Amino acid sequence: MGETPFVFPNDPNVTWSIMIVLYPYITGLVSGAFVVAALYHVFRQEVLEPVARLALVTALCFCAFATLPLLLHLHHPERAFNIMFTPSATSAMSVFGFIYNFYMLLLVVQVWLVFRPEIVERANSCSGAVGLFYRVLALGIREISDGARRIDAWVIRLLAMIGIPASCVLSGYVGFLFGAVKANPWWSTALMPVVFLASSLASGIAAIIVLYLFLCWRRRVRPDAECVRALSRYLWGSLIVAVSLEMLELVHMAYESGAQWHVISTLLTEHLVVSYGIVQVLIGSVCPFFLLMISTRPQLPARAMTWLSGLAGVLVLVQVLAMRWNIVVGGQLFSKSFRGFVEYPLHWGGREGLIAAAVILALPLLALWVAGKVLPLWPSKEA
Amino acid sequence: MTHQTDDTNGTSEAETLRSRRHFLEKVATITFGTMTLTLFPGWSGSDEESSGSDGEKPSNDDQPPVFGYLVDTRKCVGTGKCLTACRVENDVPDGCHRTWVERYVHFKDGTVQVDLVPETGYADSDMAAINPDDVERAYFVPKNCNHCEDAPCNQVCPVHASFTSPEGVTLIDDERCIGCAYCVQACPYGVRFINPVTETADKCTWCYHRIMRSEAPACVEACPVGARIFGRLDDPNSEISRRIAKFPTHVLKEHLGTRPTTRYIGISGEVT
Amino acid sequence: MKRILTFLRDTRHLLVLLLLIAAGGAGFMHLRGGMIPESFGRIGPYRAAALDEIAARPSVIMADSTCLKCHADVGEERADTLHTAVGCIHCHGLGRQHVAEARRAVDSPDVEISPAKGWDGNFRTDIDLYITKDRATCLACHQKVVGMPKEFKKIKGVPREFKWINVDEHLEDEEAEEPESRETCFECHEGHNTEP
């Protein structure tokens, strides 16, 4: 039966912009990076020691800006705190507010405890404004006994243990935000939270690899090959899980061929060809899969391995961003009449434009740079 | 769904719904413990229990009225009077639609064409001329908010700005709405939009301000052929009750379980 | 005793931290208490005052009964015709100002009631009250458009058949004197009394 296109009259306005693409992206980076740190603290993966602190601070820096895209998207940002004042227990977005705050608090405490020895040391050694800053940061307590160190180590481990499920809840919940919208057949699947969780881990690990290699290059330090190799293995594993789940979801939809499959197949073959087929699948999934397959081979020289891992890391970061785009924007490119498609005009300027998006992605990195000035990101033996 | 007129069926349905709500409440209470009471204000107070006792809504009885909306697509002639009426009544900005009228044209070659009735007459519209000889059947379908009993828009609203009034009307509190547009995504019928003037979510209110003064909604008032019928479902002698009793009615996207209050006479499966 | 003191000394930074978090939490709860609207939760989990605010908006579209209070003659004229179902507003506009003045004129007879103007051809016109004989007004309902029901026997309480036309054919068949004129319909038809 042939049909001419028809779009519900309110549907041409794509209401969830690139900001809502960035929000799950940044949240995913947070939880992925945290898991890297937790692998060191909880699962005693000593090989990850060179990046453990970096991962933790990266998680905090991205977490601090995770809600900024949401604020820019809100039409009444000044009312944002209504989410905390009169929250609705049935709203995924509202409950996310609590999960996010809990997680942010956990991260702050974790970072503070991990860096406390250095903070206290500087509080004692520095004078003037700098000294005052560190004394405030140390909450006025300017000594650390061995007993305190033991207790801190225990609390850090405990927080990391709580943090792992919290990370999963955080990124899974973002997936739930989309997966629970029954009006949208491209979103409404129970796999959505799991897909978000898996790709969050992949993006976080990839971000740590890329950041670590970049910062090593900047500091003219040779990256720890074993650490990068271990990270590549984790990245490879999480990428395989993430992409498998994404493909499983798609295959399932296609095989079931439900009432709205014709819309989704048209969406993929006509409207998301570049961002899904080429960027997410070919460039973002297939390429890094082979790159990482090679780079994790033990006999590969360290230099080649770091290059391959770094490249794979960048590609995975692109993959996950494309995946968020394809879900969020892709899900709004068809009308709920299921008879027609709309365009999403992406502008440079404006509150929800490309420049604002670039700034949002740059801010956590800027924060990381500042954090690197304030706190020692590298293990003491390396320095 | 074909509407059943026997009361027993209706009651059991309502009871299932109520028990489901209670179940959800219990789940929330267990999950969040005492946090539920402190973090989620208003959650413990069920609207059904307290609304009647407050009794501040204009109503003859203690119970708030039960409103219903019926669209008889067999009658709609597509004059578009309802569209202009809604726009001026509710000051709806151009480009946004609280209501619209779709036209379904089934051609003899099996193709289906769906388009919109122009708001300002056919004469100057860009609607393509159709040769009536090619047409198998064609009809108009007026659309507006379905005022679902299990409204997904209310469910996802993070700040309780979208809610169902004691009369069963889904409303938006534009002083609380943060403009996140989650409800726009959650509505399966595309009736919600972000009002560019107020920057809040907006949609049909069944002209709440009119119906609470016992006036008909503007679209109903403006319809010259009686294709849109509004009335009280709790009055068995109202026109809407009599028509629902007489003809089989359907709701849109029934499989989504939103339980729309707006019912349709004379539509078939192709209407989404 | 000494061990307890040591433990307290070793954990005092955690204690300070916990106090800070507790203070922050308490501060938030206190702030939140003042930020929840007064009527929130009175009826259900929403701001009850919103109901009254929404209900207080003015009605714009006027029912015919409002117009017929003064124009009872029109009511009688069209009583038994198909146009009983057509609202006054469709051909005469919203008449907000007109009705407001008419209401005031009940008490003070010297209030001037502004008269109707000619229609500007815009279906969403700003003209408060107008008289139109423009064919666009008639054709909005009477032009045969694909989609109109084939067998339509009854309009809002009038058990008679609705009349659609193909304009050009109709004008030719009826030998209209000025088929190009905007007001050609009124050569043969009345607005209120539809009997030809």
Tens digits of per-residue pLDDT, C173-183? Answer: 888 888 888 88
Instruction: Name the nearest CA neighbour of C29 among A107, A93, A81.
Output: A81
- Please, which residues bridge with residue A200 across strands? none
pLDDT above 90 for B54: no
| Tokens 């705190």 found at | A81
Q: Residue A382: what pLDDT?
A: 47
Phi-psi category of B110—alpha, beta or left, where left has phi over 0 and alpha has psi -120 to 50?
left
Structure tokens at A123: 């509080």
Strand, helix or coil for residue A246: helix
The length of chain C in residues reads: 196
Cβ distance of A1 and B159 shorter than 8 Å: no
- Of B41, B178, B191, nearest to A10 by CB-CB distance is B191
Cβ distance of C11 and A151 shorter than 8 Å: yes
Q: Which residue of A10, A181, A351 is the best one to mutate when testing the B interface, meaning the one whose CB has the most B CBs within 10 A? A: A10
Looking at the structure of chain A, the number of domains it has is 1
The alpha carbons of chain C give a radius of gyration, in whole angstroms, of 33
pLDDT above 90 for B18: no
H-state helical runs in A126-259: 128-137, 146-179, 192-219, 225-256
- Of C11, C14, C32, nearest to A84 by CB-CB distance is C32
**Are residues B80 and B121 in contact, defined by beta-carbon separation less than 8 angstroms?**
yes
| Tokens 């079931």 found at | A256
In a domain, A149, yes or no: yes
pLDDT above 90 for B225: no
**Are residues A36 and A28 in contact, defined by beta-carbon separation less than 8 angstroms?**
no
Fill in the DSSP letter of residue B255: G
In a domain, A251, yes or no: yes
pLDDT above 50 for B28: no
Q: Residue B48: what pLDDT?
A: 39
Q: Residue C151: what pLDDT?
A: 59
- Of C42, C55, C123, nearest to B209 by CB-CB distance is C55
Strand, helix or coil for residue B68: strand
**Are residues B159 and A94 in contact, defined by beta-carbon separation less than 8 angstroms?**
yes
Q: What is the pLDDT of residues A132-158, one digit of tens each?
A: 999 999 998 888 888 899 999 999 999
Per-residue pLDDT of chain C (196 residues; tens, 9 = 90+): 888 988 888 899 999 999 999 999 999 999 998 999 999 999 999 999 999 999 999 999 988 888 998 898 988 888 777 787 788 888 898 888 899 899 888 888 888 888 888 888 887 788 889 888 888 888 888 888 888 877 555 555 555 566 677 788 888 888 888 888 888 888 888 888 776 5
Amino acid at A263: V
**Are residues A71 and A77 in contact, defined by beta-carbon separation less than 8 angstroms?**
yes
Q: Residue C158: what pLDDT?
A: 55
Cβ distance of B119 and C46 shorter than 8 Å: no
Pairing of strands B67-72, B228-232: antiparallel
pLDDT above 60 for B5: no
Pairing of strands C117-118, C130-131: parallel
In a domain, A5, yes or no: no
- Please, which residues bridge with residue B202 across strands? B193
Q: Phi, psi (5° rounding) for residue A87?
A: -75, 155
Q: Residue C189: what pLDDT?
A: 85
Cβ distance of B40 and A89 shorter than 8 Å: yes
Q: Residue A376: what pLDDT?
A: 87
CB burial string B224-242: b at 16+ within 10 A, e below: bbbbbbbbbbeeeebebbe
| Cα A40–Cα A46–Cα A48 angle in degrees, nearest 5 | 60
Rounded Cα distance between A28 and A245, Å, is 16
Instruction: Name the nearest CA neighbour of B262 among B225, B217, B221.
Output: B217
Contacts of C94 in chain B (CB under 8 A): 88
- Of C13, C21, C35, nearest to A141 by CB-CB distance is C13
Query: Mean of the per-residue pLDDT values for chain B?
Result: 82
Contacts of A85 in chain C (CB under 8 A): 32, 35-36
Q: Residue B109: what pLDDT?
A: 93
Q: Which residue of A104, A135, A141, A155 is the best one to mutate when testing the C interface, meaning the one whose CB has the most C CBs within 10 A? A: A141
Instruction: With cut-offs at 50, 70 and 90, classify the pLDDT of residue B218.
Output: very high
**Are residues A13 and B190 in contact, defined by beta-carbon separation less than 8 angstroms?**
no
Rounded Cα distance between A244 and A261, Å, is 20
Q: Residue B39: what pLDDT?
A: 57
Q: Residue A287: what pLDDT?
A: 96
B207-223 mean pLDDT: 94
Residue B216 neighbours by CB distance under 10 Å: 19
Structure tokens at B223: 């319809």
B90-96 mean pLDDT: 94
B140-153 mean pLDDT: 96
Q: Phi, psi (5° rounding) for residue A136?
A: -65, -45
Instruction: With cut-offs at 50, 70 and 90, classify the pLDDT of residue B75.
Output: confident
Q: How many CA atoms lie within 13 A of B102 on its CB side?
A: 24
DSSP B82-133: HHHHHHHHHTPPTT--S-EEEEEEEETTS-EEEEE--TT-STT--PPP--GG
In a domain, A381, yes or no: no
Cβ distance of A337 and B114 shorter than 8 Å: yes
Chain C interface includes B176 (CB < 8 A): yes
Residue B6 neighbours by CB distance under 10 Å: 7
List the domain range (segments joined by +) for residue A235. Answer: 18-374
In a domain, A2, yes or no: no
Amino acid at C113: I
Cβ distance of A147 and C7 shorter than 8 Å: yes
In a domain, A200, yes or no: yes
Instruction: Name the nearest CA neighbour of B88 among B262, B225, B219.
Output: B219
Contacts of C50 in chain B (CB under 8 A): 163, 171, 173, 175-176
Q: Which regions in chain A score pLDDT beneath 70? A: 1-2, 380-383
In a domain, A241, yes or no: yes
Q: What is the pLDDT of residues B239-264, one digit of tens each?
A: 999 999 999 999 999 999 999 999 99
**Are residues B209 and C52 in contact, defined by beta-carbon separation less than 8 angstroms?**
no
In a domain, A8, yes or no: no
Q: Residue C173: what pLDDT?
A: 85
Chain B interface includes C123 (CB < 8 A): yes
Q: How far is CA A315 from CA A27, A35, A233, A278, B99, in A?
A: 18, 20, 15, 12, 46
Rounded Cα distance between C164 and C144, Å, is 5
- Please, which residues bridge with residue B172 across strands? B162
